[in-house]
Amino acid sequence: MKKTTTLLADGRELIYYDSADSVVRDAVDLRPLEPVATTSEVRADRLLGDAVAVASHRQGRTYHPPADQCPLCPSREGLLSEIPAADYEVVVFENRFPSLAGDKGRCEVVCFTSDHDASFRDLTPARARLVLDAWTDRTQDLSQLPGVVQVYPFENRGEEIGVTLGHPHGQIYGYPFTTPRTALMLRSLAEHRERTGGRNLFDDVLADEIADGSRIVLTGEHWTAFTPYAAHWPYEVHLYPNRRVPDLLGLDEEARAAFPAVYLELLRRFDRIFGDDQPPTPYISGWHQAPFTAPDRREFGLHLELFTIRRTSGKLKFLAGSESGMGAFVNDVPPESAATRLREVATP
């Protein structure tokens, strides 16, 4: 992997990731941009004990532009985009409309391909591996920033999820705090260790799922995917490396090499859940990594969580009173049924 770092016209950082060392990236951003001005702040909720980012400047962010004006496509005659180059493999750059910025964290955009009409599932295994390497490299770099406590690479796909740009891309959030979901995992991790005389919760969850078998979606030498016993979402899959590590930096070469085939297969199955005549399945996919400041971070288990808000053909799972008001989920699809369906739609 070759990494080339440059600056956009307004001073934001942009990084090209290429598979060949011979690639030269010297295109210049010619747009007349003013420096980015953000109003991001993080406020503590005294009742819940968590944090909320307030970012009013995001109200003006780009919203569903025409395909020929996509800011994530390569620059060309008639279009000066966020990427100055005429083509690219994988690109990461600072978000122009960040939820977190400065000493309050960092937000980055990850473009998986220059092909506007593609999706992550359409990537070659080699390109998916390059994206994995970019996620890992950004985790390493963001871990060095004083305002970043936890790094979360994720992808939102589909207008139903709230995506405002159709180009295949994801984001990376460098949070200045431990997120509420991770804090709950760390609490459960500590409680399990105390209750079981030192056993690791992530190891036991994976071992129990493999032993039960009813919720396994696919498994191999280095990765196992399953629908969790208490899944919150209609179709939800957790992907674990078979050897526990706290973050992407801990994966060995064998696990990295095996990841593309496993992940691309999961994404293809997600698009088949509701039938080939249905539009692409909207989903959220994200890596859960240990916070850098957690005292027991070596005990944390890196894993990817992939889920859709579509519960059946033409119907979405809305977070209504119980979920939005109280955080108490009600799932319409038994996890065992979801796992069965995801096994049924395996690639022939």
Angle of helix 180-195 versus helix 201-212 axis, rounded to 10 = 80
Residues composing the chain: 348
What are the tokens at 157? 């796909």
Cα angle value 231/235/238 (rounded, 5°): 60
Question: Which is the catalytic residue, given 64, 116, 167, 169?
Answer: 169
Which strand (E) or helix (H) includes residue 54? Answer: strand 51-54
Task: Kindly give the pairing relationship between strand 283-288 and strand 303-308.
Answer: antiparallel
CA–CA dist 206, 202 (Å, integer): 6
Contact 227, 336 (CB under 8 A): yes
Long-range (24+ apart) CB contacts under 8 A made by 177-181 are 177/42, 177/51, 177/149, 177/150, 178/149, 178/150, 178/291, 178/293, 178/294, 179/150, 179/152, 180/48, 180/50, 181/288
Q: Which residues pair with 312 in a beta bridge?
A: 315
Secondary structure string (H, E, C) spanning 81-92:
CCECCCCCCEEE
Contact 286, 155 (CB under 8 A): yes
Long-range (24+ apart) CB contacts under 8 A made by 51-57 are 51/177, 53/99, 53/100, 53/104, 53/105, 55/97, 55/98, 55/99, 55/100, 57/97
CA–CA dist 294, 178 (Å, integer): 9
169 is catalytic: yes
Residues with a known catalytic role: 169
